[in-house]
């Protein structure tokens, strides 16, 4: 019988703190713990990662695509695996692929394939995020206004079915387009209701939170802004204690000053977590692609429609961490928690931490958050 494997490093982040000169001990596909190097069992196989920063695998709750595919384009569970693999090569070992506003037929197809992906054990797949179609057209961003629509009984039944067969389900809604009763029903089914693409008032958002909404989608973007007489969704996101919020940290979607203000307003890294809003170009070198028949242009780190409207983000989580710890000078432990244990806590799943019993999903980063190794279930993933 073989013993455990000890991954030695000068710095191991366990999801809450950095442990110096430690070893990550793994047995099979689970974590045993982070221990002093002097306590490594004699029968352990040692792998010395030197100065590389070892962290839990990154967790991304808003990923529209990757590897050349948008989630709405998938035709098999293997296609979902392709999206997950593109992000795994960038250190993201857990994600909830995201379907932006689409037809009822495409939504059902994606739900069915997502259930198949989970049942077949697609690596890195940990649920689904449906961003729309129940949004406010006035804050649609790059979503197709012709596909935005009210929530029906058939929709609710589909979402309840999906939630009963998936490890997690996030649904982004504009609170002014759904009823509190619908939000309560979704929440009662175990669905994480997120507020976004909305022009709602603070009071409307507050009622949505009382009904069961718990998240906000890509803070500051496509939502009613904070004003002194009407705080809007931004004000609700920063003020209401029941909301955790996703943030795109690429220096483009949100100004650094706004990020600093938000971090001061929301105590603790678990309340603001990083998302990429990544599109199909992630993991490729394409300069443009199509979304619902409209061309998306990739230029200078941005993705835009022809009219300049931002259409997702051209960023990955390691780049976001580099931005937060560089120009924003955020403490390393705080930034790492925003990409690991923070979003994992939102899902309520044993991810994003290197503690006993958690899956042995982790990554090793070099200088500037270069990805130098990724493991899922204790197995090293092939570089892309």
Q: Work out the pLDDT band at 234, boundaries 50, 70, 90.
A: very high
Q: Work out the pLDDT band at 282, boundaries 50, 70, 90.
A: low
Question: What is the Cβ-side half-sphere exposure of residue 352, based on CA atoms within 13 angstroms?
Answer: 28
The string of pLDDT tens digits covering residues 299-348 is 766 777 777 787 666 789 999 999 999 999 999 999 999 999 999 999 99
Please tell me the predicted confidence (pLDDT) of residue 318. 96
Phi, psi of 266 (to 5 degrees): -110, 105
CB atoms within 10 A of CB 292: 15
CB of 310 closer than 8 Å to CB of 319: no
Residue 384 reports pLDDT greater than 60: no
Helices (H), the chain: 77-88, 104-119, 153-165, 180-188, 202-211, 232-239, 256-265, 317-325, 332-339, 341-347
Polymer length in residues for the chain: 384
Residue 115 CA to residue 38 CA, distance in Å, equals 44
Kindly report the CATH class assigned to 5-55+356-380.
mainly beta
Please tell me the predicted confidence (pLDDT) of residue 1. 46
Question: Is domain 58-347 annotated with CATH 3.20.20.140?
Answer: yes
Residues with Cβ within 8 Å of 218's Cβ and at least 6 positions away in sequence, in order, are 62, 196, 246, 247, 248, 253, 275, 277
The string of pLDDT tens digits covering residues 84-132 is 999 999 999 999 999 999 999 999 999 999 999 999 999 999 999 999 9
Q: Known catalytic residues? A: 277
Task: Answer whether 0.95 is exceeded by the pTM.
Answer: no
Please tell me the predicted confidence (pLDDT) of residue 267. 75
Residue 297 reports pLDDT greater than 90: no
- Average pLDDT of the chain is 93
Please tell me the predicted confidence (pLDDT) of residue 23. 98
CB of 169 closer than 8 Å to CB of 130: yes
Q: What is the per-residue DSSP string for 321-365?
A: HHHHHTTT---HHHHHHHHTHHHHHHHTSS-S--STTSB--EEEE
The ranges of the chain annotated as CATH 3.20.20.140 are 58-347
Average pLDDT estimate for 31-37: 97
Residue 332 CA to residue 233 CA, distance in Å, equals 29
Please tell me the predicted confidence (pLDDT) of residue 269. 57
| Rg of the chain on CA atoms, in Å | 20
């Amino acid at each position: 019988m073989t013993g455990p494997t000890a991954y030695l490093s000068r710095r191991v982040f366990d999801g809450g703190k950095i442990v110096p000169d430690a070893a990550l001990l793994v047995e099979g596909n689970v974590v045993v713990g982070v221990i002093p190097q002097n306590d490594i069992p004699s029968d352990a196989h040692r792998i010395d990662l030197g100065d590389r920063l070892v962290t839990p695998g990154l967790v991304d709750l808003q990923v529209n695509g990757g590897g050349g595919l948008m989630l709405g384009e998938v035709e098999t569970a293997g296609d979902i695996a392709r999206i997950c693999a593109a992000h795994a090569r960038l250190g993201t070992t857990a994600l909830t692929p995201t379907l932006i506003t689409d037809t009822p037929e495409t939504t059902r197809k994606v739900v069915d394939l997502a259930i198949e992906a989970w049942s077949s054990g697609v690596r890195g797949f940990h649920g689904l995020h449906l961003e729309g179609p129940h949004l406010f057209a006035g804050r649609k961003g790059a979503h197709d206004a012709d596909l935005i629509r009210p929530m029906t009984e058939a929709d609710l039944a589909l979402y309840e079915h999906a939630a009963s067969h998936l490890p997690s389900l996030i649904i982004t809604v504009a609170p002014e387009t759904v009823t509190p009763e619908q939000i309560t029903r979704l929440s009662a089914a175990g669905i994480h209701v997120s507020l976004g693409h909305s022009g709602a008032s603070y009071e409307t958002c507050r009622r949505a939170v009382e009904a069961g909404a718990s998240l906000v989608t890509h803070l500051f973007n496509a939502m009613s802004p904070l004003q002194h007489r009407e705080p809007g969704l931004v004000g609700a996101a920063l003020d209401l204690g029941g909301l955790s919020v996703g943030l795109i940290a690429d220096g483009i979607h949100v100004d650094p000053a706004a990020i600093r203000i938000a971090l001061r307003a929301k105590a603790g890294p678990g309340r603001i977590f990083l998302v990429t809003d990544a599109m199909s170009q992630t993991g490729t070198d394409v300069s443009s692609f199509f979304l619902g028949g409209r061309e998306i242009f990739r230029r200078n780190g941005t993705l835009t429609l022809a009219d300049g409207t931002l259409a997702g983000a051209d960023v990955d989580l390691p780049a976001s961490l580099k931005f937060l710890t560089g120009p924003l000078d955020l403490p390393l432990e705080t930034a790492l928690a925003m990409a690991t244990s923070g979003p994992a806590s939102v899902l309520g799943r044993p991810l994003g931490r290197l503690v006993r019993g958690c899956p042995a999903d982790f990554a090793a980063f070099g200088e500037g958050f270069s990805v130098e190794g990724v493991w899922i279930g204790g197995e090293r993933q092939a570089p892309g």
